[in-house]
């Protein structure tokens, strides 16, 4: 199994060291390196191959979202897990729109942190229950979807690819992609991440982690 490095960027020493210990014990990474400030991580990313990073998000850091967006755009294979104390749904959405893979709060359990690390390392998404519930409580205007479109949304939220959805529903991949495009247009959403959040808000996928 090929292991990739993990980079942790946190100003708080105790949290930084706690994440370092969890990541080292997980056995998922070839090395784990820690940084105190995003400026240090920025320099490192510029000269090293980077696949997975864990970042602290402070809502008073106005440049964070812009910088994060630029990193993701210039490093398409980058997997990002954000950890914050801020559960304001608007700020959470602004970060999720950047394309981050995971979002946790600093009150998450060891189990959730390890599950998130495992998920993002494999390019999957993970949002802790507190983050999902904050988004659900905000509420969304309901847009009427056809029953077939609802089926497609549920299958996307369950992690199925377009080809897998085509096989499950016995339709062509072209039809699946047409459904995806129409669904995003109807819901005024921009990404699969936002679509998964919408599915959670409608109760179509469970918020509970097992």
* Coil, helix or strand at residue 139: coil
In a domain, 209, yes or no: no
Domain count, the chain: 2
Q: Does residue 65 sit in the same domain as residue 158?
A: no
| Closest of 80, 8, 15, 62 to residue 40, by C-alpha | 8
pLDDT 10s digits, 64-73? 777 788 888 8
Q: What is the pLDDT of residue 22?
A: 92
187 and 129 in one domain? no
Where do the H-state alpha helices sit in 32-128?
38-47, 64-74, 89-96, 110-121
Boundary residue ending a domain (113, 137, 161): 137
92 and 104 in a common domain: yes
Which of 95, 113, 137 finishes a domain? Answer: 137
Report how far residue 104's alpha carbon sits from residue 126's, in angstroms, rounded to the nearest whole number: 8
Query: What is the model's pLDDT at position 167?
Result: 93
What's residue 208's pLDDT?
A: 52
Residues 22 and 126 in one domain: yes
pLDDT tens per residue, range 121-177? 887 788 888 887 777 665 544 446 777 888 898 898 888 899 999 999 999 898 899
Output the domain CATH number for residue 27: 3.40.50.2300
User: Residues 144, 83: one domain?
Assistant: no
Does 127 lie in the same domain as 27? yes
Residues 75 and 112 grouped into a single domain? yes
Q: What pLDDT score does 8 carry?
A: 94
Model confidence, pTM: 0.65
Find the domain containing 150 and state its range: 140-201
Q: Is residue 207 part of a domain?
A: no
Do 126 and 35 have their domain in common? Answer: yes
Give the tokens for residue 22: 């969890």
My answer on whether 80 and 160 are in the same domain is no
Contact 135, 194 (CB under 8 A): no
| Same structural domain, 177 and 105 | no
Regarding whether 15 and 76 lie in a shared domain, the answer is yes
- Asked if residue 90 and residue 164 are part of one domain, the reply reads no
Share of the chain above pLDDT 90, in %: 17
Indicate the DSSP class of residue 11: S
């Amino acid at each position: 199994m090929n292991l990739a490095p993990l980079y942790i960027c946190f100003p708080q020493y105790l949290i930084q060291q706690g994440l370092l210990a969890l990541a080292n014990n997980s056995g998922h990474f070839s090395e784990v390196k820690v940084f105190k400030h995003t400026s240090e991580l920025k320099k490192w990313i510029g000269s090293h191959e980077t696949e997975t990073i864990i970042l602290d998000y402070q809502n008073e850091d106005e440049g964070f979202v812009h910088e994060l967006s630029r990193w993701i755009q210039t490093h398409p294979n980058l997997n990002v897990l954000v950890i914050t104390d801020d559960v304001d749904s608007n700020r959470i959405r602004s970060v999720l729109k950047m394309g981050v893979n995971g979002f946790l709060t600093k009150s998450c359990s060891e189990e959730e942190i390890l599950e998130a690390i495992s998920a993002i390392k494999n390019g999957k998404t993970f949002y802790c229950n507190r983050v999902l519930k904050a988004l659900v409580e905000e509420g969304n205007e309901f847009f009427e979807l056809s029953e077939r479109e609802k089926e497609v949304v549920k299958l996307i939220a369950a992690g199925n690819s377009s080809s897998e959805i085509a096989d499950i529903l016995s339709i062509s991949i072209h039809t699946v992609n047409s459904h995806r495009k129409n669904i995003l247009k109807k819901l005024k959403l921009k990404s699969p991440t936002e679509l998964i959040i919408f599915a959670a808000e409608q109760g179509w996928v469970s918020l509970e982690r097992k």
